A and B are shown apart, each in its own frame.
Chain A
Amino acid sequence: MSWRNNSKRELWLAWYSMIAFYNIFVIVFFVLTHAQPPPYPYWSDAQVVFWFSHNRGGLLTGFAIMFALAGLTLPANALIAYSIRRMSVSRAFAYSYLVIYSLAALPGMLLLCVVLSVGAMRPDRDPVLIHWLYDFAFLSYVGTMGIFLIGSLVWMLAILLDKNRVLPKWFGYLNLCNALTEVVVSPAWIFHRGVLDWNGLISWWLNMVVFGIYTSAFIMLLRNMIQREDFGDGPLPTHQLAGTAR
């Protein structure tokens, strides 16, 4: 069947955009810019200045790629909002999720990209100010809690109430795990050292492991949802029955 006549093309495009975004995100944040795992919150001005000058090219190139491609988050969020819309719950859940995550990109990612780029572009800036930019970027990024907390809870509640079997109930509870990691992140605003600081074992590593499992799970589950989609408004068919829908 040709691409043009594939009734699920919009859903698949959104799903592949999601895959593309997470791959680019990993390359930019972990490989190019070394913004993840985050450097230490207790560093001296001199260490922070050294970190910027050491990573200068990677920071500026990596975030430039992010500025060009961050729009890929939109189809990803739209697809999740669509999954909620397909459920038997009120549209209010899908719209809440869409609004919350549309704003998430800003404090949760783009501010860090702008602020670290500003830090990297002038290595001769007063070290105290470079350090301020460093704190600004990482606290904004790691400390953006409410969006992911409330967003995950909205998705969770929709899944648990849903009668259309769009996503499995266990994934509803996994949303709760993801939401709870946003609670454990909050001490990052207070601690400069230890397991609760912004790159600590609890605030960052635990959060990242749960987020990794959570993201992999919903990528697979959304793929499964698209395969089963029948564009009706009742329960979503199981795999075997949906063989002809593509």
Chain B
Amino acid sequence: MRRADGELILFWTLPALAVLWISAFFLFPGFVHPMSPSMTAAQVADFYRDPAKLSRIRYSMILFNWFGVGLVPMLTLLVMQIKRMAHRTPILSYCLLGCIAGGPTVFLIADLFWLLAAFAPGRDPQLTVLLNDLAWMTFTTAVPFLIGQSLIIALAIYLDRPDRPVFRRWVAHFNVVIAAALVPAAFTGLALSGPMAWNGLLPFWLKNLAIAAWIVVMSIVLGRNIYRQRAEGSARPVTEQTVAA
């Protein structure tokens, strides 16, 4: 029986996070029918002034604030998996650590702008639109670290030893597909309506479904790995590389 190292506790925070995440998504009235960037200033101001919507905006964004940072332990467990791979250098785990610092921070800034808009909905509608634009643009274009982390994980798997891989090949292919699905969101500033607008098919639905699929699939393969590695116990020798990393 190996000594408890707490990784399982970190891993099993995920169901709680999933509850937070799903409830926040459906609670925020601007997501289920995503707000259009072509709404007028009066419509945006009314959205925040509607008392029924206002409390839902505030509560959902408070939950999102917890959710964004809550993902950090799960992402860090992925770094631990990369450290087990047969790499010569810790470069790829350094890259993933960089993503973990950057991604949730960008998300928190978007969350901050939404909460600011909701804090004083009586403001001049022009100011509410400004905060709403900043929130949606930050949220939608917050893909650099997400694209980065998918590609880094894919690369790490491709460079792992093929005979005894930490993750199977398809996980790498899956990450490349997710990275590609996130790219259109970067271009959302170019369209105020249609499929490329921030409420459109590609920057909203495709991007957020890709993120959701990534979290679910990566959680499952991560959990399987953690349990498998535990069952193997000390069967897998600690290689020189993992010590060096």
Q: Which residues of A contact B (CB under 8 A)?
A: 7-11, 13-14, 60-61, 63-75, 77-79, 81-82, 85, 98-99, 101-103, 105-106, 110-111, 113-115, 117-118, 120-122, 125-126, 129, 133, 231
Among B6-14, B67-75, B97-105, B164-172, the one that faces the other chain is B97-105
User: Residues of A contacting B190 with CB < 8 Å?
Assistant: 60-61, 64
- Point out the residues of chain A lying under 8 angstroms from B143, CB to CB: 67-68
Q: List 28 A-B contacts (CB under 8 A).
A: A10-B91, A10-B92, A60-B189, A63-B141, A64-B141, A64-B187, A64-B188, A67-B141, A67-B143, A68-B143, A69-B144, A70-B144, A71-B147, A73-B98, A74-B98, A74-B152, A78-B92, A81-B94, A102-B97, A102-B101, A105-B144, A106-B105, A114-B134, A114-B141, A117-B141, A118-B133, A125-B129, A133-B130
Q: Interface size for chain B: under 10, 10 to 19, 20 to 34, or 35 or more residues? A: 35 or more
* A71 to B, closest residue via Cβ: B148
Instruction: Judge if B30 is at the interface, Cβ distance under 8 Å.
Output: no
Is B106 in contact with chain A by the CB < 8 A criterion?
Answer: yes
Contact B88 A125 (CB under 8 A): no
**B101 lies within 8 A of A99 (CB):** yes
Which one, A10, A71, A111, contacts B99 given CB within 8 A? A71
Closest B residue to A86 by CB, please name it: B89
Minimum distance in angstroms from B211 CB to a CB of chain A: 15
Per CB-CB distance, the 8 closest pairs between chain A and chain B, nearest first, are A71-B148, A67-B186, A70-B144, A78-B94, A102-B98, A68-B186, A102-B101, A117-B189
Among the interface residues B101, B145, B189, which one has the most CB atoms of the partner chain A within 10 A?
B189
Inter-chain CA distance A99–B105, complex, in Å, is 13
Which among A10, A65, A118 is the interface contact of B88 at CB below 8 angstroms? A10
Closest to A17 in B: B95
Determine how close the nearest CB of chain B comes to the CB of A115; give it in whole angstroms. Answer: 7
Residues on the A chain within 8 Å of B99, using CB: 71, 74
Shortest CB–CB separation between residue A101 and chain B, in angstroms? 8
Flag if B91 contacts A121 (CB, 8 Å). Answer: no
Say whether A71 contacts B144, CB under 8 Å: yes
| Interfacial chain A residues near B97, Cβ < 8 Å | 98, 102
Q: Using A114-B137, A114-B141, A121-B189 as known contacts, list a sample of 16 further A-B pairs with CB atoms less than 8 Å apart, ordered by residue number in A.
A: A9-B159, A10-B87, A11-B91, A13-B155, A65-B186, A68-B144, A72-B148, A74-B95, A74-B99, A78-B94, A78-B98, A82-B89, A98-B98, A102-B98, A102-B102, A231-B88
